[in-house]
Chain A
């Protein structure tokens, strides 16, 4: 009887010692990264997968060191549905608050699609003091709010392209086309929604009006339009050499197909979201050759041989998930945001929100999109040189179904090919 009691006591001691000293058996709780976004949409799905991929990579290397222990990451997501038509902002905010209260995340990444949801959500984030690195919503108004009250809103960051930089890239592309071919007549077609109208107006005001372009026409199409023949006939009649489209509706691919089938002798160069990924070639019946599109971030569905980290990310994504990246906005900054967060936690050596925010502000990292640094509005700086800033990628679909990056020149892989019937003014 005494022997059995002694044996049991010894066993209990061994088990207790195992829990105390064998790593892994007494592991600390994982650091939770929350992903509140519209997971039912392409960008949302691919952003979430990019976050999961970054987390897996970091965990494989042992996680991040906080204090004396290595902590791994865990991802918790919620579909806040703000991208779906008709979903009111308060409903999206309920999802945001739910994930904060129920999953107790150390930080959030990706965030809302719609800028109004982000703007309203900033107060919830400030209330619970959970850092957010947004990767979809683009309105610079959130930066203004941060600058106005930095102490309250310092928890909000954005690692994707914002609307201001989109204008910069569209204007840059137009400037590049003018310099290369001497074109100076443009026809603007945009979706009849606030962000697209504003982008078109700002490009007109800050670039076309000053750079010697003649805007020969400007049309706004209601969301859902599926026949662009009238505008395309006007493009032809006015002799516009360039069409600047700004759309993110699914029907906008029809514009490119009609431009192709009506053989309009103008260069189509701008932003049409369905054209971003490699799948667009088959989606649009191989009829998009010649179209030029801005992908918002390098690494989001496109990479350049000149940027090995972007190439590695795009290839790893395909290997990990068995499908190619298709979203031209979101995945690269989402992946990058996890690394930004991991590095900030490691530098802060703490999970305290204020300490993480202080370290995020000091970010200076060479990553998938180029060099990542935040400005005073907590927006990642985008410019034209990946050694100095993050970059977007402007590419042209070839007639063989390949995407060739043509701008910015630092990462360009080829020259712009003009459509049949359009010749350069300047040789």
Chain B
């Protein structure tokens, strides 16, 4: 049972990482806490479902279509709404949360509620790993999760656009002096974050089903991981995902599943008390010292 718990803890950690990485990317670069993130996750899942069932498009085409659509909507949200309130943290939160709520409640209002709304797994089989059966979708989640993190690292360290992202993240004013358009980069950051939400939905939703309320859960999980890891820190997100992911599964197995939520909340509380900027966060480190 210990080995099985380790395997499922690893899978759970990668799921959390996938859920949080897009939110973290947007915040790290543009400074915008995109509270519509969970809504984008659900929006992309419903779009895939609609493209598959109403337009009879193949699964892969539907997935690609929904990822592109979500990214475009992310960019539009920045250009039409966030650009005007950029820099005003409370206004950004209110605006994005409002947009997210509107998207989720619109799906509920339109009747997209029911068990029939789900996405198929990529490969429908299961394999025994070290004495524990694991379905292929979960194995794929781990593989895709690792690939995405590596791609993100390569992108931000080896491409001019990625370096511009990092430039804005490190010091927006200095980056401006180098001719980097901060609005353009912020638009791309929100769009890319939404795209990560869409990719996460595409590979995670087949494990369950699509429900508007799932959008709120995803947002809470993303926030939890980012708060523990430190907002804006990719390394922090990975570390926090593993911390929470392992804590959840081991609590499930050795303490009791009804304590799982408590463990996550306790982790957030302890980190906030001990290091308010998160494990790897640098956002307020100076203020903390003062």
Which of A104-112, A217-225, A306-314, A342-350 sits within the interface? A217-225
Binds A, one of B88-96, B108-116, B228-236, B274-282: B108-116
Bound together, the chains give a CA A279 to CA B11 distance in angstroms of 29
Bound-state CA distance A192–B256 (Å) is 12
Cα A258 to Cα B258 in complex, Å, equals: 19
Question: Quick check: which of A61-69, A94-102, A249-257, A363-371 contacts chain B, the rest being far away?
Answer: A249-257
Provide the residues of chain B in CB contact with A282, threshold 8 Å: 116
The chain B residue sitting closest to A262, CB to CB, is B133
Q: How many angstroms between the C-alpha atoms of A231 and B255 in the bound complex?
A: 11
Note all chain A residues with C-beta closer than 8 A to B211. 250-251
Q: Nearest residue in B to A229 (C-beta to C-beta)?
A: B8
A234 within 8 A of B: yes
Task: Give Cα A5 to B115, complex, Å.
Answer: 69
**A230-B257 contact in complex given A40-B109, A253-B115, A283-B115, C-beta closer than 8 Å:** yes
Q: Which B residue sits closest to A38, measured CB to CB?
A: B113
Query: Given the complex of chains A and B, what is the CA–CA distance between A225 and B252 in angstroms?
Result: 11
Q: Does A10 contact B (CB under 8 A)?
A: no
Given B111, B116, B207, B253, which contacts A226 in the complex, CB threshold below 8 Å? B207
* Chain B neighbourhood of A283, CB < 8 A: 115-116, 118, 209
* A75, CB-defined interface residue at 8 Å: no
Complex CA–CA separation, A282 to B115 (angstroms): 10
Q: Which residue of the partner chain, among B111, B207, B258, contacts A222 with CB atoms under 8 Å? A: B258
Least Cβ distance of B55 to chain A in Å? 18
Kindly identify which residue among B118, B214, B257 contacts A220, using a CB–CB cutoff of 8 Å.
B257
Contact check, A40 vs B111: say whether CB atoms are below 8 A apart.
yes
Whether the pair A221, B207 counts as a contact (CB closer than 8 A) is no
Task: Give residues of chain B (253-275) contacting chain A, Cβ–Cβ below 8 Å.
Answer: 253, 256-258, 260-261
Interface string of A74-91 (1 = CB under 8 A from B): 000000000011000000
* A230 with B108, Cβ < 8 A, contacts A251-B209, A263-B133 known: no
A198 CB to closest chain B CB (Å) equals 15
User: Which residues between 134 and 190 of chain B lie within 8 Å of chain A, taking CB atoms?
Assistant: 134-135
Complex CA–CA separation, A305 to B61 (angstroms)? 43
Task: Chain A residues near B133: list those with CB within 8 A.
Answer: 261-263
- Which residues of chain B come closer than 8 Å to A285, judged between CB atoms? 120-121, 124, 206
Residues of A within 8 A of B135 (CB): 257-258, 261-262
Q: Is A226 a contact partner of B208 (Cβ separation < 8 A)?
A: yes
A339 interface residue (CB < 8 Å to B)? no
How far does the alpha carbon of A192 sit from the alpha carbon of B261 in the complex, in Å?
12
Tell yes or no: B5 within 8 A of A by CB: yes
**A18 is an interface residue with CB less than 8 A from chain B:** no
Contact between B115 and A227, CB atoms less than 8 A apart: no
Chain B, residues 86-110, CB within 8 Å of chain A (1/0): the string is 0000000000000000000000110
On whether the beta carbons of A254 and B8 are closer than 8 Å, the reply is no
Which of A42, A221, A237 is in CB contact (< 8 Å) with B115? A42
Cβ-defined contact, A250 with B209, below 8 A: yes
A326 adjacent to chain B (CB < 8 Å): yes
Tell whether B217 is near chain A: CB-to-CB under 8 Å: yes
- Within 8 Å of chain B (Cβ to Cβ): is A126? no
Identify the interface centre among B109, B124, B258: most chain A CB within 10 Å of its CB.
B258
Query: In whole angstroms, how far apart are the Cα atoms of A258 and B132 in the complex?
Result: 12
Q: Quick check: is A176 within 8 A (CB to CB) of the other chain?
A: no
Contacts of B26 in A (CB 8 A): none
**Which of B126, B249, B253 meets A234, CB within 8 Å?**
B253
Report the Cα distance A231→B126, complex, angstroms.
18
Instruction: Tell me if B257 and A254 are in contact (CB < 8 A).
Output: no
| Contact of B113 with A41 in the complex, beta carbons under 8 Å | yes
* Docked-complex contact A250 and B208, CB < 8 angstroms: yes
Max chain A Cβ within 10 angstroms of own Cβ: one of B5, B111, B211, B257: B257
Minimum CB–CB distance from A184 to chain B (whole Å) comes to 22
A279: which B residues are within 8 A, CB to CB? 115-116
Say yes or no: A250 contacts B257, CB within 8 Å: no
* Alpha-carbon separation in the docked complex, A29 to B260 (Å): 58
Q: How far is the CB of B92 from chain A (nearest CB, A)?
A: 24
Query: Smallest CB–CB gap between A256 and chain B, Å?
Result: 11
Flag whether B12 is at the interface (Cβ < 8 A): yes
Q: Which residues of chain A have C-beta atoms less than 8 A from B114's C-beta?
A: 42, 326
Q: Is A20 in contact with chain B by the CB < 8 A criterion?
A: no
Q: Hey, which chain B residues are within 8 Å of A227, CB to CB?
A: 8, 11-12, 207, 249, 252
Question: Which residues of B are found within 8 Å of A412, using beta-carbon distances?
Answer: none
CB contact between B209 and one of A85, A233, A234, A253 (< 8 Å): that residue? A253
A287 to B121, CA, bound (A): 11
* CB <8 Å contact, A219 and B208: no
Q: Does B79 sit at the interface, judged by CB under 8 A?
A: no
Instruction: Kindly state whether residue B286 has any CB partner on chain A within 8 Å.
Output: no
Residues facing B in A23-47 (CB within 8 A) are 40-42, 45
Closest to A277 in B: B115
Q: Could you say which residues of chain A place their CB within 8 Å of the CB of B108?
A: 40, 84
Check B8 against A230 for contact (C-beta < 8 Å): yes
Establish whether residues B252 and A231, one from each chain, have CB atoms under 8 Å apart when the complex forms: yes
Give CA–CA (A41, B113) in the complex, Å.
6
Residues of chain B with a CB closer than 8 A to A163's CB: none
Given contacts A84-B108, A229-B4, contact A262 B116 (CB under 8 A): no
Residue pairs across A and B with Cβ atoms less than 8 A apart, 13 shown, are A42-B115, A219-B256, A220-B257, A221-B257, A224-B213, A225-B257, A229-B4, A229-B5, A231-B252, A254-B208, A262-B133, A283-B115, A326-B116
- B contacts, CB < 8 Å to A: 1, 4-5, 8, 11-12, 108-109, 111, 113-116, 118, 120-121, 124, 126, 132-135, 206-209, 211, 213-214, 217, 249, 252-253, 256-258, 260-261
Besides A41-B113, A237-B1, A287-B124, 5 other CB < 8 A contacts? A220-B256, A227-B8, A251-B209, A257-B207, A279-B116
What 10 A-B pairs come out closest when comparing CB atoms?
A: A230-B252, A261-B135, A274-B115, A261-B126, A229-B8, A230-B253, A262-B133, A220-B258, A226-B208, A233-B4
